[in-house]
Chains A and B, each alone.
Chain A
Amino acid sequence: DQQVKQNSPSLSVQEGRISILNCDYTNSMFDYFLWYKKYPAEGPTFLISISSIKDKNEDGRFTVFLNKSAKHLSLHIVPSQPGDSAVYFCAARSNDYKLSFGAGTTVTVRA
């Protein structure tokens, strides 16, 4: 059962523009959400997180938005840079340690 879904397997964006990555979840018990970035042959690197008591968290070029009623979150990257080309995973957990991951979205930033 896939509790975290990233329905767009890939995204291509022009350098300097905004990248918007989407994530949907089904488990209403999830209370903490994270985004990880992964380069080929490396492990996921923590990017940004948000607690369910918030609807927005910003860190530099990265902003995560949470819409609890829609069970939806998104990651905005602006401006997109070539180094942002990677696979982005959405993850969630429910008051414990088990992270449930989406299948990932591959972002390609075009020069």
Chain B
Amino acid sequence: NAGVMQNPRHLVRRRGQEARLRCSPMKGHSHVYWYRQLPEEGLKFMVYLQKENIIDESGMPKERFSAEFPKEGPSILRIQQVVRGDSAAYFCASSPPGGSQETQYFGPGTRLLVL
């Protein structure tokens, strides 16, 4: 029973490039959440998605960031024209369809470094 999977685990981009982070939720989970952790800080909520729907993106920067969770395939967090301040660990979590108040289980994260 695989847990939440994220890839790549490490991603290096130059300023101005695009970063695509992928997340496959646990089997049977239909709710996906993305969090960002800056150095020396806790995780900060970014976006909550269900299949083909963005439920809450209130934690996402208004520009350059987007997320999707298509009917087939993993959830994608996309960062366009990356800047150095985007360097962080990005964690995806999933929860079962019982409701969004179920415990969230986290993936190993993608560490993004912008040069």
Contacts and interface: CB of A to CB of B under 8 A. Distances in A.
Contacts of A43: 4, 6, 91, 93, 106-109
Size category of the binding interface on chain A: 20 to 34
A89 B42 contact: yes
Nearest to B9: A41
Contacts of A104: 42
B42 A101 contact: yes
Contact of B45 (A36, A46, A99): A99
A44 interface: yes
A102 B37 CA distance: 11
A89 B108 CA distance: 15
B1 interface: no
Contacts of B100: 96-97
Contacts of B109: 41-43
Interface of B: 4, 6, 9, 31, 33, 35, 40-45, 48, 56, 59, 91, 93, 95, 100-101, 103-109
B50 to A, nearest CB: 11
Interface string A13-56: 00000000000000000001010100001111110010000000
Contacts of B33: 97, 99
Interface in A72-111: 89, 91, 93, 95-104
A45 B6 CA distance: 15
Nearest to A9: B40
A103 B42 contact: yes
6 contacts: A43-B93, A97-B48, A99-B45, A101-B35, A103-B41, A103-B42
